[in-house]
Structure 1
Amino acid sequence: MELLDLPNELLVFIVTYSLPEGFDNLALTCKHFQSLCAPFVEHHNTLRQKFQDFMYNRTKQHMGRTVRHPLPNTISSAFNLIAIIAVEPIVAQYIHMADFRWDNQLLEGENQSLVTDQSRDKAVRRLLADSAVLKQAGLDWKKYYAVIEKDFNAARYSQHAAAFLLTLIPNAEVLWLPERWKPEATTDKLIKTVISNARHNPDGSTSLAKVIQVVMSGGAEHRFDLDSMHCFLALPHVQWFTGMCSEGGTYSEAALKYTNLETVWLYNASMSEVELSNFLRRTPRLKTLRFTPFIEEDSWRDWDLCKFVMTIEQIVGNHLVNLCITLSDAVGTSIAPGQASMRGFKKLKRLELPLETVLCNLEAGLPRNPRSLEADALAVMFRHFTTLKHLAPCLQEIHLTLTAEATRLYEKIFAKVSSKISRAGVLFVEEEDHRMSPFSDDEDYDDDDDDDDDDDDDDDDDDDDDDDDDDDDDDDDDDDDDDDDDDDDDDDDDDDDEEEEEQEQEDEDEDSSEADS
């Protein structure tokens, strides 16, 4: 029997079963299925628009301004979303990006009768009572619900509600955890059960099994511990982790590997090289690492940048492809002197480091002219780059971040460095660092811009005069073309010879310097 020979009652059941992932394809198979799908299209599109890229406190454009949807028409907490899923379970399957950052942040002090539909409470209790994950974790659903209800009535963030919500989203690919996420013994048992199910059934319909990216953002007053991210990074398909305002963890649990984690961005991270080492040891496939440290203003010790680089090299240097370390602090970031070698990075293709990486290798004492410190660092960094490039054959790009003052002071050095790097077949990108230079002075560069404007005006006048002269000289130029071509060829040959001689002399000087050192 062919599919279309089935009665329409069964075909409609197939249509509802295809929601949401297979609905669009099914509706386009033939005219008969298109007609059967037609009654579901409007609601399907509404749910997809509202929940596919989900975030709390959704906003809208009204009269040219961005405004929030009024309560209770906006979903502002995990309890609100759980209640909607309890009434219409298919809603959970529409969520692909789960942005739970601002869980309950709009509801502080609100009258709870205004922010939820109390008629859904019975459905929520039934959802928890039927939860297989709660039973598997050995948790009493009545006690669990009582805590959620207590938090809700107090108009505060509920870790119990936030954790239970993570048992309901099987199609989520991006998971942004709440800013107020705070591990507790009860909720940790539930989360570990969800993670365990996803790891044992990575290709099934288990909640969180499809998550590819995990994002966690803390704040200056409530930094999150990397220990709380341990189980999420062990999910079977997680490839990307972004953490903002994190602290290094103890990693006291069993050494689970983050087997598919390839990209890690740690911004404003407060962690020691030991904590970083413990984290990196779990990333056997790490390819990209972006790291920005958090250094307290009243910290008594300098940040050991060189030691951090050496730690990264020793643990993930064999497989790291992209490395970026930036400094987010304003003036005053103090870097401890030390030594850092880059030779352990065997597959590095993109390297982005602040100049302090080289400065910490130089002697701690400033030279007589402190302006020359950055120039000395550049000279050290690229002194034998052309002859030693073969040691890092995979290197393709170098990004150099410098202050605007340094860029102006060492323009000639940059030109020489750029030329040397380009000859080795590597892309050189100079990026401006907006931190103030510790060696900046009160010199005003605005006058240069004014001079440039004057020069532009003069150039316009000169161009007009040149146009008249060019008309008179065209005939003479035609007569002399043949002679000029011969002269140009000779001049080009001379220039090439001079460049070759200069290059040979430069290489000899480099070899001599290397021998001396």
Structure 2
Amino acid sequence: MVMALMQLPTELLQQIIPHTLPEGFESLALTCKFLYTLCIPFLEYHNNLRFHFQKFEYNKTNKDFREFRYHHDLLRFPDTATSAYSLISRIAIEPVVCRYILEADFSLDSHIYDRIPPTIRENAVFETWRDRGEAVRQLFANSLCLKEAGLDWKEYYRTMMEDVHSWRRSEHAAAFVLTLLPNLEVLTPGFSRFRSPAPQKLITAILQTARRNPRGNASLAQVTAYSGSCDIPWVSSLLALPRIKRFWGHGYIGKAVDDNCNECRYLETNLESTLKVAGFDDTSVDTAAITGFLKHTPCLKSLTYWHSTKANGGHQDWDLCGFIAAVQHEVGSHLEHFCAITLELRCLITSGKPYLRGFERLQSLELPLDIVLCNRRASDPADHGSLDSDSLLGHIVPASVSVLSLLSPGKSPHDKALELLFRDFASQKQFQTPNLKEISLTCPDDADVLYKAQCANLAAEAKRAGVDLTLSEDPCLISTVGLGEDICFPTYS
């Protein structure tokens, strides 16, 4: 193949090289010195597009912001997109741009527009996009996705342009951008609150097309990771994308408790997902919703859930035991890493009897120490056996677990919880948790004296049992397997 290519005239090779951008350009340039020499005139262009678009975000520029006098100075740079429309207009006149985008964070769409004085807006938009209007119009006229969604492209385009001329963030433009990304792998959308019917319909059509053409050139068909709001009607379609592996969400999912909350019915899907890692940050997901989310995730290996009362308005207690039971029922046979915690001191956890023995392959487990208190509150006070039973550790920690993390603010009655869970640990460990090798436990400086005393007792028991115990002042999360490097480590609030 290379020899046949080398036999072509130099003039023809110079015309072929631009068509290798971006996917094959670098490989072609490294083939031999002759082809590298022919590629040199395109190197600066390639590197410039790679910088601005490979890991895309709005307002990204290689200029020094200290030289800017006004925010609208960003509009002067052709490689810097400030809104969905400006990105669309750039792709309209230079289609190769869309193929460079591998990661996209759309959260700052039109973010600077509120800071541009109205007196200069008209001149700014005229100078920036005056030569792109017809190309954008043709892009919409030729859009197969708009046809697939059953939308009138002229009406869709007109509505978008009304937003553009009014300097508003456009739902229509933000959704249309998703039709133009054949190589996108990591998606962080910025339109979780969008509710206009036409963009929602278009997004659904895009995702359906991607599922039908997993090996084709369909937009979003290559997406492997999603990070964004759960509060969108097309989460289920995202989970069914052909290559999706990671999901990191936030927001509220569950039964409607007031007019501002959404029901979980949109999470239902009949398609099995390739999802392997799922995480929820600052989120409230009820039992029914997590069941709907996990029902079709046969490949899931890691689940991280950080509960927040802020996500549901702070008016619901957390049914931790019910949540664990739902997770265990749906993915307990294949889940390997599980974290279900809250770091809010005001969060009330309802009573229940936790049982995690159904997690057959779990290797790492992270829970709040309140899990023991759930059992205590749910037990009949007259039934002392349920409180003092040697099987409590075995009920809460599956036999397969090798790494256990327990989070606690170090206040009463968590000292009692430690005593109940790890009573006679050295002798019970072999029978209840034979694979346990590491325990991580929160022990803040301001912890109660009794709690610190129980930590000291556990340290002695763990040493006799041959288990490594780590006491940390702040929560040290362990069950974030596969979620990437941008994981935050919150503190108790």
**TM-score > 0.5 by shorter chain:** yes
The match for 2:420 is 380
Q: One-letter code of the match for 1:54?
A: F
Q: 1:404 aligned to 2:442?
A: no
Contact 1:57 1:69 in 2 (8 A): no
SS in 2 for 1:360: helix
1:240 counterpart = 2:250: no
Question: Which runs of structure 2 are paired with 1:111-510 in the superposition (5 Å)?
Answer: 111-115=121-125, 116-217=128-229, 225-248=231-254, 249-252=263-266, 255-296=269-310, 299=314, 301-329=316-344, 331-363=345-377, 373-383=413-423, 385=425, 387=428, 397-406=438-447, 409-421=450-462, 427-431=468-472, 432-433=474-475, 434-435=491-492
Is the contact made by 1:170 and 1:208 (CA closer than 8 Å) also made in structure 2?
yes
Unmatched 5+ residue regions in structure 2? 255-262, 382-409, 476-490
1:393 shift after superposition: 5.8
Once the 2 structures are TM-superposed, how far is the Cα of residue 392 of structure 1 from its aligned partner? 5.5
Runs of at least 5 residues in structure 1 that lack an aligned partner in the other structure: 218-223, 437-517
Offset, 1:210: 1.1
- Are 2:236 and 2:266, in contact at CA under 8 Å, matched by a contact in 1? no
1:61 to partner: Cα distance: 4.7
- The CA distance in 1 between the partners of 2:162 and 2:72, in whole Å, is 26
**How many Å separate the matches in 1 of 2:313 and 2:178?**
39
Q: Is the 8 A contact 2:214 2:242 kept in 1?
A: yes
Q: How many matched pairs? A: 427
Residue 263 of structure 1 and its aligned partner are, at CA, apart by: 1.2
RMSD: 3.1
* Distance apart, 1:48 and its partner CA: 0.5
**Counterpart of 1:326 in 2: which secondary structure?**
strand
- Paired residues of 1:353 and 1:399 also in contact (CA < 8 A): no
Deviation at 1:294, TM superposition (A): 2.3
- SS of the aligned residue for 1:319 comes to coil
Deviates more, 1:156-165 or 1:296-305: 296-305
Give TM-score, length-normalised by structure 1: 0.75
Matched to 1:35, the amino acid is: T
- Say whether the 8 Å CA contact 1:133–1:194 is kept in structure 2: yes
* Closer/same/farther in 2, CA of residues 428 and 136 from structure 1, 3 Å limit: same
Aligned residues of 1:199 and 1:209 also touching (Cα < 8 A): yes
Larger helix fraction of residues: 1
State the secondary structure of the residue aligned to 1:71.
Answer: helix
Q: Secondary structure at the match of 1:313?
A: helix
Counterpart CA distance in 1 for 2:42 and 2:223 is 28
User: Are the aligned partners of 1:399 and 1:429 in contact in 2 as well (CA < 8 Å)?
Assistant: yes
2:331 is aligned with what amino acid?
Answer: V
The structure-2 alpha-carbon separation of the partners of 1:121 and 1:402, relative to structure 1 and needing over 3 Å to count, comes to farther
Query: In structure 2, do the counterparts of structure 1 residues 121 and 66 end up closer, same or farther at CA, with 3 Å as the change threshold?
Result: closer
When residues 228 and 3 of structure 1 are mapped into structure 2, their CA distance, relative to the original with a 3 A threshold, is closer
Against the structure 1 CA distance between its residues 344 and 22, is the aligned structure 2 distance closer, same or farther, given a 3 Å change threshold?
same
The residue identity in structure 2 corresponding to 1:58 is K
Q: In the TM superposition, what whole-angstrom CA distance separates every residue of 1:297-330 from its partner, at most 9, and x where no partner exists?
A: 975553222222222222222111111122232x
Q: Deviations over 1:222-257 (max 9, x none)?
A: xx5253322122111111111122333422476233
Letter in 1 for 2:338: L
Given that 2:72 and 2:112 are in contact with CA atoms closer than 8 Å, whether structure 1 keeps it comes out as: no
Change (3 A) 1:415 1:109: closer
Change beyond 3 A, Cα 1:227–1:135: closer
Matched letter for residue 454 of structure 2: I
Residues 463-494 of structure 1: CA deviation (Å, up to 9, x unaligned): xxxxxxxxxxxxxxxxxxxxxxxxxxxxxxxx
TM-aligned CA deviation for residue 9 of structure 1: 3.0
**CA distance in structure 2 between the partners assigned to 1:300 and 1:251 by the alignment:** 21
Structure 1 pair 227–136 and aligned structure 2 pair: CA distance change class (3 A) = closer
1:363–1:270 CA distance, 2 compared to 1 (3 A): closer
Corresponding position of 1:476? none
* Equivalent residues of 1:348, 1:395 under 8 A apart: no
Check conservation: 2:267, 2:292, Cα contact below 8 A.
no
Which residue identity is paired with 1:234? A
Give the 3 Å change call, closer, same or farther, for CA 357–179 of structure 1 in structure 2.
Answer: farther
Q: Compare 374-383 and 243-252 and name the one that shifted more.
A: 243-252
Q: Which entry has the higher C-alpha Rg, 1 or 2?
A: 1
Question: Which sits farther off after the overlay, 43-52 or 426-435?
Answer: 426-435
- CA deviations 1:373-424 (Å, max 9, x no partner) are 2122112222365535566666554433344333764334324424544665
**1:273 is matched by which residue type in structure 2?**
T
Cα distance change of structure 1 residues 207 and 390 upon mapping to structure 2, 3 Å threshold: farther
Match of residue 442 from structure 1 = none
Work out the CA distance in 2 between the residues paired with 1:393 and 1:182. Answer: 50
Supply the distance in 2 between the matched residues of 1:20 and 1:423 (Cα, whole angstroms): 59
Q: 1:113 to 1:340 in 2, by over 3 A?
A: farther
Return the alpha-carbon distance in structure 2 between the equivalents of residues 65 and 358 of structure 1.
57
Contact between 1:83 and 1:123, CA under 8 Å: does it hold in 2? yes
Deviation of 1:132 after TM superposition, in Å, equals 2.0
Provide the residue aligned with 1:459 in structure 2. Answer: none
Give the structure 1 partner of residue 92 of structure 2.
Answer: 86
Q: Secondary structure at the residue paired with 2:446?
A: helix
Q: CA deviation at 1:71?
A: 3.0
Structure 1's 378 and 69: CA in aligned 2 closer, same or farther, altered over 3 A? farther
Other structure's SS at 2:339 match: strand
Distance in 1 separating the partners of 2:200 and 2:457: 57
For residues 114-137 of structure 1, what are the alpha-carbon distances to aligned partners after superposition, in whole Å with 9 as ceiling and x for unaligned? Answer: 244122111100111122222232
SS at match of 1:134: helix
Check 1:50–1:33 CA distance in 2 against 1; reply closer, same or farther (3 A cut): same
Q: 1:333 to 1:16 in 2, by over 3 A?
A: same
Change (3 A) 1:179 1:421: farther
